Structure 1
Amino acid sequence: MDRFSKLHPIFHFLYFIGMFALVVSVYNPFFIAVSFLGVLIYEIKCRGAQALSSLKLTIAVVLAVGMFNMLFAHYGEDVLFVIGNTEFTLEALFYGINQGFTLATMVLWFGAFSRTTDSEKVIYVFRFAPKTALLFSMVLGFIPKFTRKLKEIEDAQLGLNGGQRRDSKIKTAINNLSALISYSLESSIITADSMTAREYNPKAVRYSRYKIMPADLVLIAVSVPAIAYVLFAKITDRITFIFEPTIYSKSFDYVAFVIFCFFSLLPVAVDLTEEILWKISYAKN
């Protein structure tokens, strides 16, 4: 049961935009870790074993970014090892790992956003700008569509070659990408012609099945001050973390951290609350 995905679209956009802004701006490993755990638990709850593939990708990204930053950025006082005249430090490695976790957390939140937000919700939220809403919704729809098409192109190429790659991986990838671009251009033309033939009117009145409920209002009323307080704490240097020349927490606002924990775990909390209420109601009956 994914109650969070059934909330009002306005709250969804407010929540995810706020989360994106906080993850990018706070840049504190304690906050990043909480946000990462929050979205990972939510993904595992909704997708089950499929979410483990995201965890594997996260580990690869964190290790790659951490090692890359340590190899090419040399700062800090805690030297891990020396090769020639080059010192590789703990501070550079830790900063890279934090960058990797930030990137992985953003990817997971974007995945949750794309899964809970469809084209109908986008058009509803941006109904004051129908052309922009249409463009945004089409882009969101094209991403999974083109991903599936690229897999079909790869399978077709393997089938034509008897299940073996005759060219190098780079050349094969370029050929597949060229075919995908050709398909996307042709698909765009067909979509445009279809909309013209059906006399698409962006100013036409549309029926909306979304109705804001008291629970949505409560969540919006709670989320807005939560986002504002954490951003205020960041701007006023209350949650500053130092990565060089040594690693230490310069300042830490526990209130902001507790609020951020609640905000990161909000999707899971909403789902668990719904399940508990449903079980209580079922037990009474």
Structure 2
Amino acid sequence: MAVFDVAIVGGGPAGLSAALTARVHNKSVVLFEAAGFGDKLRRASKINNIPGIMTISGIDFMENLLEQTLSYEPVIVKERVQSVFIGEPFTLMTADNVFQAKSVILATGVAMSKTVPGERALLGRGVSYCASCDGHFFEDKDIAVYINTLAYQQDVELLASLAKNMNLYIGGALQLPREWLDTLPASVVVHKKAIVQSVEGEKAVTAIHTNEGMKTVDGVFFLRDTYPPENLVEGVILDGNSVAVNRHMETNFKGLFAAGDVVGTPLQVAKAVGEGQMAAFSAVAYAAGY
């Protein structure tokens, strides 16, 4: 298996800046982005606080940065990283593939979705964020799945094929294609505009409570747009809800760096780009001495 010099999780301003910088230094780079490069920033109609740029739309800024980064030919993987395992090298797992890298930069952005009561307490005891990791534990069982992004359709299909019965809760304004929903087995019950209020259970999950009431289940999968970074990398130290880093953007694990909104406020484009570059400098140096 090929071992990349730098693996970057997230394709927003920080992630693209890191990829660009690492490639300028002639390091092999793999960048993971499943939901669209800078998807949140693209929604900004006007940005006027980037030094040197009077005014620019979010979509124009991201297209410029993406074009510049792609010109240096990093490897782009349009899959969501579900787990990062610490080691020499690091191992990154998606739903379908496994990758290895000498260093890793987390540029996943801010976790927009808050956890619900019971979610963290029952993590690993019926609550999961990873279909491919934990789905087989729920074969022929009753489960609930919450989804708020198109990036997880394949995960839903996997869980539907394993579970005895599945309640699929579609969050917020997400519109899943009708033709795709029609392909799901009859054991899947779809709930639109769902609001998950809590996960119930003491030693293990017993039920999920939503705006539609209570359902008895054996497990709950939260397939969110983003999720807390400590669930991506077990043992990473946080500062509040953000990844704690030093001035070199390094976490408590050697060779694991973080940049952008995931390391905290201010949530500014210029800050994210600068931190992505700093993290790349540090990752390049770490990989060189590997």
TM-score by length of 2: 0.29
More strand by share: 2
Indicate the structure whose relative CO is greater, using CA pairs within 8 Å and at least 6 residues apart.
Answer: 1
TM-score by length of 1: 0.29
Rg larger for: 1
